[in-house]
């Protein structure tokens, strides 16, 4: 069944998720990547991408995705079993989980409800624009990129930075305080520029000037934060910038703080946890961490079945049969009308109509100006009526199906039979 799907639907992008459970005795010092990742996946408005694998009841499927821009939203995301995927794929209404719509970024987690083949679906079918997607999936929630709070004094998970943004962490520290750590973007095609500086140089950099910084790393997917000892007492900044990146970046961070060598030996103050996500160089307003988190995480995923329906896949056998049948039933019809009747995108209806005319499967013409198909029979009906008429004409019955038509028409009027739907010109 899966092989047939990939062969028949050339626009359907599919991948097999091979998951292996990794057992660890303790959380690693560096964040582990997802079990399955794909980046720079383009999806047009009639395409979707899915990943599938076999899972047992109680297994956890978790992961994350991001589109490449805040103005791009994935039209629909959901998780379902194989039966319901096939229902949805053929245009039916399926029971699905974790249904989300029009999301720029999303972290998701789902506990499998039955032993089966499960599908994670990223659909842009019906979306308003083409998008590009990065996605990662983890089996049993053991590899999601995060840093352990038992190892690092400061951790950040899933910080979303647009390519005109940066975020920083800061605190007041005494001379001799030592810092080290690690950071990682969620996907290996993304990077950030990292550096450490004092408050004076941060203000210079933020204003567009040239600053003196420490530990500079440019466009790194992941890297150690090299051991750094504060040379002076004051406010120190740890900056992660995406200003040189091409698209959205999501990052996790872990930083160790050792005050044993400081001049006073005091613990770092609570200001360390205050972060700012600024939208442009020169911005002055500070956004507190609770606001940033609310912006980053979007709507939470929920456990429990919901319902979703998708029209048949563009180019599928079902679509062809539906369009061909409609063209035979409606001797004159516009592409927008067919889209409304069949729930198939207008560009796909138009493509199939032209293909049927070219192949001879239907006989008729396509008017580019009006975007209408007219069968040869409907054209003949209109011509005969015009030849028989002078200025006015009483039409009593439909020339196509014979149903009664009441009305007094002037030559040139458009008439539609309410019984068979045929349209013709008087």
Q: Going by DSSP bridges, is the β-strand pair 131-139/36-43 parallel, antiparallel, or unpaired?
A: antiparallel
Cβ 260 vs Cβ 269: under 8 Å = no
Across 153-167, 173-187, 223-237, 370-384, least confident range: 370-384
Among 1.10.10.10, 3.40.50.800, 3.30.1310.10, 2.60.120.380, what is the CATH number of 154-279? 2.60.120.380
Q: Supply the pLDDT for residue 264.
A: 45
**Residue 127, CB half-sphere, CA atoms under 13 Å: how many?**
26
Sequence-ordered list of residues with C-beta below 8 angstroms from that of 368, at least 6 positions apart, any chain: none
For 5-19, 177-191, 342-356, 400-414, which range has the lowest pLDDT when averaged over its residues?
A: 5-19
Cα 96 to Cα 105: distance, rounded to the nearest angstrom: 19
**Residue 27 pLDDT class (50, 70, 90 cuts):** very low
Rounded to an integer, what distance in angstroms lies between the CA atom of residue 43 and that of residue 128? 11
Let me know: does 103 contact 73? Beta carbons within 8 Å.
yes
Region 290-300 average pLDDT: 26
Q: Which DSSP helix (H) or strand (E) runs through 88?
A: helix 82-89
pLDDT at 339: 82
pLDDT tens digits for range 105-129: 999 999 999 999 999 999 998 888 9
The pLDDT of residue 288: 25
Return the H-helix or E-strand segment holding 7: helix 2-8
Q: Which residues contact 3 (CB under 8 A, 6 or more apart)?
A: none
- The radius of gyration computed from the CA coordinates of the chain, to the nearest angstrom, equals 30
pLDDT tens digits, 60-74? 999 999 999 999 999
pLDDT band at 406 (very low <50, low <70, confident <90, very high): low
Average pLDDT, the chain: 75
Confidence band of 415 (pLDDT split at 50, 70, 90): confident
Flag whether pLDDT at 14 surpasses 90.
no
317-425: CATH number: 1.10.10.10
Confidence of residue 385 (pLDDT cuts 50, 70, 90): very low
Q: What are 48-58's pLDDT values in tens digits?
A: 999 989 999 99
290 has pLDDT over 90: no
Instruction: Give residue 407's pLDDT.
Output: 65
Q: What is the pLDDT at residue 311?
A: 45
pLDDT at 160: 93
For the stretch 83-92, pLDDT in tens is 999 888 888 8
pLDDT at 255: 94
> Mean pLDDT across the stretch 325-332?
82
- Is 183:223 a contact under the CB 8 Å cutoff? yes
- Lowest average pLDDT, out of 190-199, 289-298, 356-365, goes to 289-298
Higher pLDDT, 319 or 221: 221
Q: CATH 2.60.120.380 spans which residues of the chain?
A: 2-144+299-309, 154-279
Query: Would you state the structure tokens that stand for residue 225, as one six-digit string?
Result: 């934060």
Closest CA to 394 of 361, 426, 425: 426
What length is written for the chain? 426
pLDDT digits 0-9 by tens, 253-275: 999 999 887 654 333 333 332 33
pLDDT at 218 over 50: yes
Check pLDDT > 60 for residue 148: yes
Residue 56: the pLDDT is 93
* Global confidence as pTM: 0.58
CATH topology of domain 2-144+299-309: Jelly Rolls (2.60.120)
- pLDDT > 90 in the chain, percent: 38
CA distances from 212 to 166, 198, 228, 235, 272 (A): 18, 9, 14, 15, 21
Question: Own/partner pairs for 415-421, CB < 8 Å, 24+ apart?
Answer: 420/329, 421/329, 421/330, 421/333
Q: Is the pLDDT of residue 310 over 80?
A: no
Rounded-to-integer distance, Cα 131 and Cα 124, Å: 8
Of 126-130, 314-318, 416-420, least confident by mean pLDDT is: 314-318
- The mean pLDDT value for 293-322 works out to 45
């Amino acid at each position: 069944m899966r092989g047939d799907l990939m062969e028949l639907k050339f626009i359907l992008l599919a991948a097999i998720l091979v998951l292996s459970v990794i057992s660890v005795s303790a959380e690693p010092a560096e964040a582990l990547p997802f079990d399955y990742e794909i980046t720079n996946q383009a999806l047009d408005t009639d395409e979707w991408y899915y990943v599938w694998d076999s899972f047992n009841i109680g297994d956890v499927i978790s992961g994350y995705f991001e589109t490449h821009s805040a103005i791009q939203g994935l039209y629909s995301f959901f998780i379902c079993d194989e039966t319901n995927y096939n229902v949805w794929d053929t245009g039916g209404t399926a029971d699905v989980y974790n249904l989300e719509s029009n999301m720029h970024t999303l972290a998701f987690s789902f506990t499998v409800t039955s032993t089966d083949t499960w599908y994670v679906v990223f659909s842009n079918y019906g979306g308003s624009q083409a998008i590009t997607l990065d996605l990662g999936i983890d089996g049993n929630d053991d590899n999601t990129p995060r840093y352990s709070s038992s190892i690092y004094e400061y951790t950040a998970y899933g910080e979303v930075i647009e390519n005109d943004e940066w975020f920083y962490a800061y605190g007041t520290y005494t001379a001799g305080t030592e810092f080290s750590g690690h950071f990682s973007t969620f996907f290996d095609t993304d990077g950030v520029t990292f550096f450490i500086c004092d408050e004076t140089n941060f203000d210079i950099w933020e204003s567009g000037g040239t600053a003196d910084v420490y530990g500079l790393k440019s466009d790194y997917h992941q890297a150690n934060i090299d051991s750094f000892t504060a040379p002076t007492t004051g406010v120190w900044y740890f900056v992660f910038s995406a200003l040189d990146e091409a698209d959205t970046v999501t990052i996790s961070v872990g930083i160790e703080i050792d005050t044993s060598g400081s001049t006073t030996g005091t613990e770092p103050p609570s200001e360390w946890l205050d972060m700012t996500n600024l939208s442009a160089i020169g911005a002055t307003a500070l956004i507190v961490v609770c606001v940033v988190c609310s912006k980053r995480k979007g709507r939470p995923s929920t456990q429990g079945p919901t319902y979703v329906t998708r029209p048949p896949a563009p180019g599928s056998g079902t679509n062809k049969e539906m369009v061909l049948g409609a063209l035979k039933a409606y001797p004159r019809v516009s592409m927008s009308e067919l889209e409304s009747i069949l729930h198939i995108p207008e560009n796909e209806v138009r493509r199939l109509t032209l293909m049927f005319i070219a192949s001879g499967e239907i006989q008729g013409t396509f008017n580019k100006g009006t975007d209408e198909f007219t069968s040869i029979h409907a054209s003949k009906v209109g011509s005969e009526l015009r030849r028989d008429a002078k200025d006015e004409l009483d039409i009593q019955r439909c020339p196509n199906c014979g149903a009664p038509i009441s009305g007094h028409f002037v030559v040139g009027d458009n008439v539609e039979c309410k019984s068979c739907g045929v349209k013709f010109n008087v």
